[in-house]
Structure 1
Amino acid sequence: MKNTILNLLLVSIVLSSYSQTQVIAQNESKPNIIFIVTDDLGWSDLGCYGADLNETPNIDKLAEKSMVFTNSYAAGSVCSPTRASIMTGKTPAKLNYTVWSEAATGNAEERRLRGSKYLEPLTLENLPLEEISIAEKLKSKDYLTAHVGKWHIGDYMHFPNTQGFDVSVASSQRGAPPSFFYPYTGIVYDEFRFVGDLGMDADGKYFTNREGEYLTDRLTDEAMKMIEDAGSRPFFLNLSYYNVHVPIEAKAEDITYFKNKLSSEYHHQNETYAAMVKNVDDNVGRLLHKLDELGISENTIVVFTSDNGGVIQKYKDKVVTDNFPLREGKGSLYEGGIRIPTMIFYPKNPGKGQQIDVPISTIDYLPTVMEIAGIPNDLDNIEGESFLPLLKGEEAKSLENRALYWHFPHYYYAVKPVSSIRDGNWKLLEYLEDGHIELYNLADDLEEKHNLADTEPLKTNELLSKLRKWKTNVGAKGIRQNPNYKKQ
């Protein structure tokens, strides 16, 4: 009897080992891919990027074994355009998706009624269904594709399930809920600005056992459940946190901790925002622990990034964040609005913890992921380039030698319509209202304090010519005179 039991145990162990080996073998040629996209997280909001008040031990630990990109850019200076660029590999100007969805329709008419001298162009409010997304490409390779969290590139007729995602959780056609605490909605439950599928059960009834639940915690719960459910199938998870977008809300105990830590010497002075950043860090730690627990960490590529620069305006009489040493913030085409924290854990990378200074953009994710997954790049109209060579520790001359472009023909707080180009270390901005030109050498002037347009006329004309040619090629829409404008 003892021998029979022993034999059964041995068989069980062998079968278990065989099953685990099979899972690894099935996944090795198709690594899992996770995007963690934060909302409005600034370039200097993380410990590994020089934050003072904020604490991010889990993300810093991820950085230690990842490639950390110091010149990573959002293709847009606000949320929706950048998110569309991640999905499609195209710049917002080429997509005609240059402003967030809510501002896209009727904005020109509103400005006309306000007596504005210039009219903004009408742009898309939904990512067109005919655009090929990163999820659709991976799905063709039998990846399980899941989107969890902020979508903000289309209404319910353009939700993630229409763009190749098998699973879609907590999407909304708006940019953020009125509250990060359950039930993640405002006083009026049927308003658009809410995350409905997390607040109600299948019968449309509100849960009664989730009081005090924080949205980022819940999104991570849903993401980890999806990973577990994927089993041996390779997966692509687009985990898109609503944090650290307004409303600036966090858990009371975390706010108290950072309030006690505040110092007048810090650049960051918002204890509630610091608590929100901490919550993102806590949940990144939870997610990475789950990968370790399931034994799939070394077969999972993890991308951590943001959709634009940090918000430098006030929320409830307190400045949200500080992007020092970068100039300005969200909405602006100065570095503070478009340079974003980015790190990528690539298991096969020989130089973990390495700093990469080669500029990359969110338009590069689609071609990079396609190359990683062994998908032929048959998309001849995308603008991004694969940076897989950088992840492998190789040179990427084409990336080093190319120019990056931005176009924001809109008004946002103090930001006026503007286009920009970065070519090498040179960066030029062209303001669309009056043609004002600014030129900076980022190698010597990261803070963009010294305008060299007058002292470097040849470089100014060279970059201006490139910028205008690009705008023509992609069909970038500009501002126009308001025929009804009357000077006061």
Structure 2
Amino acid sequence: MKPQKLYMCIVLLLIGLGLALNLRINHHEPNHSKPNIILFTFDALRADHLGIYGYDKNTSPNIDDLAKNSYVFTNSFSQCGSTACSLPSLHTSLFPLEPKSNATTIARFLKSQGYNTIGVIAVRFANSTYVNKDGFDIYDENFTFWENSSVTVNRALSILDQAKQPFFLWVHVRQPHGPYNPRKEIFLEMYPHNDEPTFYSDIPNLDWSGLQEYLLEYYTNKGEIEEKYATMRRFPGLITPTMLAQIIAMYDGNIKEADISFGGFLKYLKSKRLLDNTIIIVSADHGESLGEHNIIDHNNLYYVTLHTPLIVHFPSNEHKVIGYPVMNVDIFPTIISLLNISTNFTLKGKNLFDSNRTDYFQYAEYSNERWTIKYGAYKLIHKNNESMLFNVEEDPAEQHNLLVLNPKQYSNLTNMFIGLHDNLSRDRETTNFNILAKLRALGYI
């Protein structure tokens, strides 16, 4: 064969091989014009039980590994201590009592910018009754009751495997939210004590989710049910220190279960080369009280319930720890800013990376008579006719009410709330939530 013909054959062969390879390239071939955006939220994950936030148990190795190459916000605040009101605020950058039926959501905005929008959830209070799904091309809310994080992640990956870029993916996993049901070996890893462990059947029934579901669907005044529910949520004198240590270990085990699933999620992204062109935001709808104020639950205004993790990962793997105050309502404005797009709709949050954020308050609410505002070290809680003032830097467990000792801070925070409330009042919902009675039955308000 002549050299020219041989050369031509080789060229044609390479071209053909290239075409064949192109046909095999899946939907994940990077599109560098717009980054993919992933919002991964955990249910009831308090920040101080993660390694990256200083916890001494190995609950979160995969989250921690991502955080080492990310921006870590150490002072993040949820807008509500329950999923039903916190997630709608996160997705709209509006406070819980503001109307959201016609509000622009993250998904709706990104869809208008050409994004393929996907939502995969695992808890009832993240479904389309609470979070507007209009902006999602795919919204998978076909979860099993209190399904484990691995199931939710697998559902998300099966959808993502066919997704076109650029995409926005929101995944909300149930764990570490109760029931606290980690595998036995993970529980024992979190409970390295010499005393004989009291396993699940011997611990006062922590799986109150079934009771919540019952009350939600069939609200009743049956005294026995209400008494049981109240006992499980408020337990002064009923749970020993050993039992509480085991309960905390079970919660930590739930974090570890969720973290393992998150690690598998990251492994998939890496295998598909998606990390090269994807922004990942990790957060939680709220935290969890684990014995503080005699509460094992959330649905309250204490710091441990509102202090949530917030991690933002870029393909550049930049790492920085940021301590200024931020809120979950800041996530949406940050996405808009990162895409460098102008908008004309109202957002109550600010860009997380705004350099002028040091003079910034944090706020959460359930109703006009149940709210909290934090500025600097001081946090004011108002519940009906009672107010409490705490220095959460010195007293994160909020055990020492400073209301009488520090009237100046009380006055400052009260005036700050009045200014905020007056600014929002004309937009407020007149009936706090459509399901007011059901939320009251669950102790949310």
The offset of 1:282, in angstroms, is 1.1
CA distance in 1 between counterparts of 2:96 and 2:421 reads 11
Match of 1:447 in 2: 397
Match of 2:141 among 170, 181, 184: 170
Do the aligned residues in 2 keep the contact of 1:421 with 1:428 (CA within 8 Å)? Answer: yes
Q: Could you tell me which amino acid in structure 1 is paired with residue 305 of structure 2?
A: G
Match of 2:372 in 1: 420
Match of 2:153 in 1: 220
Match of 1:362 among 328, 353, 371: 328
Match of 2:105 in 1: 133
Match of 2:349 among 379, 384, 387: 384
Do the aligned residues in 1 keep the contact of 2:87 with 2:131 (CA within 8 Å)? Answer: no
Match of 2:163 among 230, 238, 244: 230
Match of 1:470 in 2: 420
Match of 2:79 among 62, 66, 75: 75
CA distance in 1 between counterparts of 2:358 and 2:24 reads 41
Do the aligned residues in 1 keep the contact of 2:78 with 2:364 (CA within 8 Å)? Answer: no
Match of 2:64 among 60, 65, 68: 60
Find the residue that maps to 2:372 and give its secondary structure.
strand
The offset of 1:41, in angstroms, is 1.2
CA 1:20–1:345: 2 relative to 1, 3 Å: farther
Determine whether 1:403 maps to 2:369: no
CA distance in 1 between counterparts of 2:276 and 2:403 reads 48
Find the residue that maps to 1:383 and give its secondary structure.
coil
CA distance in 1 between counterparts of 2:119 and 2:177 reads 18
Do the aligned residues in 2 keep the contact of 1:423 with 1:463 (CA within 8 Å)? Answer: yes
Do the aligned residues in 2 keep the contact of 1:367 with 1:377 (CA within 8 Å)? Answer: no
The offset of 1:156, in angstroms, is 5.7
Q: Could you tell me which amino acid in structure 1 is paired with residue 141 of structure 2?
A: A
Q: Could you tell me which amino acid in structure 1 is paired with residue 112 of structure 2?
A: S
Match of 1:243 in 2: 175
Do the aligned residues in 1 keep the contact of 2:149 with 2:257 (CA within 8 Å)? Answer: yes
Determine whether 1:145 maps to 2:117: yes
What is the aligned length? Answer: 378
The offset of 1:373, in angstroms, is 2.3
Q: Could you tell me which amino acid in structure 2 is paired with residue 384 of structure 1?
A: G
Match of 2:341 among 366, 375, 378: 375
CA 1:16–1:65: 2 relative to 1, 3 Å: farther
The offset of 1:295, in angstroms, is 1.2
Do the aligned residues in 2 keep the contact of 1:151 with 1:171 (CA within 8 Å)? Answer: no
The offset of 1:23, in angstroms, is 8.5
CA distance in 2 between counterparts of 1:223 and 1:22 reads 17
CA 1:19–1:455: 2 relative to 1, 3 Å: farther
CA 1:55–1:156: 2 relative to 1, 3 Å: closer
Find the residue that maps to 1:85 and give its secondary structure.
helix
CA distance in 1 between counterparts of 2:329 and 2:129 reads 24
Q: Could you tell me which amino acid in structure 2 is paired with residue 376 of structure 1?
A: S
Q: Which 5+ residue runs of structure 2 have no aligned equivalent? A: 196-240, 433-445
Find the residue that maps to 1:238 and give its secondary structure.
strand
Find the residue that maps to 2:290 and give its secondary structure.
coil
CA distance in 2 between counterparts of 1:273 and 1:431 reads 27
Q: Could you tell me which amino acid in structure 1 is paired with residue 307 of structure 2?
A: R
Match of 1:485 in 2: none
Match of 1:191 in 2: none
CA displacement, residues 208-244 of structure 1 (integer Å, 9 cap, x when unaligned): xxxxxxx42222122222322124x111110000112
Do the aligned residues in 2 keep the contact of 1:148 with 1:219 (CA within 8 Å)? Answer: yes
Match of 1:334 among 298, 302, 310: 302
Find the residue that maps to 1:291 and give its secondary structure.
helix
Do the aligned residues in 2 keep the contact of 1:58 with 1:281 (CA within 8 Å)? Answer: yes
Q: Which 5+ residue runs of structure 1 have no aligned equivalent? A: 96-126, 181-214, 314-321, 390-395, 411-416, 480-488
Question: RMSD between aligned alpha carbons?
Answer: 3.6
Q: TM-score with structure 2 length normalisation?
A: 0.74
CA displacement, residues 75-129 of structure 1 (integer Å, 9 cap, x when unaligned): 111111110011110010324xxxxxxxxxxxxxxxxxxxxxxxxxxxxxxx62x
Q: Could you tell me which amino acid in structure 2 is paired with residue 42 of structure 1?
A: R
CA distance in 2 between counterparts of 1:41 and 1:155 reads 19
CA 1:34–1:74: 2 relative to 1, 3 Å: same
CA displacement, residues 173-227 of structure 1 (integer Å, 9 cap, x when unaligned): xxxx5453xxxxxxxxxxxxxxxxxxxxxxxxxxxxxxxxxx4222212222232
The offset of 1:402, in angstroms, is 2.4
Q: How does 1:2-17 map to 2 (within 5 A)?
A: 6-12=10-16, 14=18
CA 1:457–1:16: 2 relative to 1, 3 Å: farther
Q: TM-score with structure 1 length normalisation?
A: 0.68
Q: How does 1:35-50 map to 2 (within 5 A)?
A: 35-50=39-54
CA distance in 1 between counterparts of 2:410 and 2:126 reads 38
Match of 2:442 in 1: none
Do the aligned residues in 1 keep the contact of 2:373 with 2:413 (CA within 8 Å)? Answer: yes
CA displacement, residues 37-85 of structure 1 (integer Å, 9 cap, x when unaligned): 1111122222222334453211111111111111011111111111001
Match of 2:313 among 310, 321, 345: 345
Find the residue that maps to 2:358 and give its secondary structure.
helix
Identity of aligned residues (%): 25
Determine whether 1:269 maps to 2:246: yes
Find the residue that maps to 1:302 and give its secondary structure.
strand
The offset of 1:367, in angstroms, is 1.1
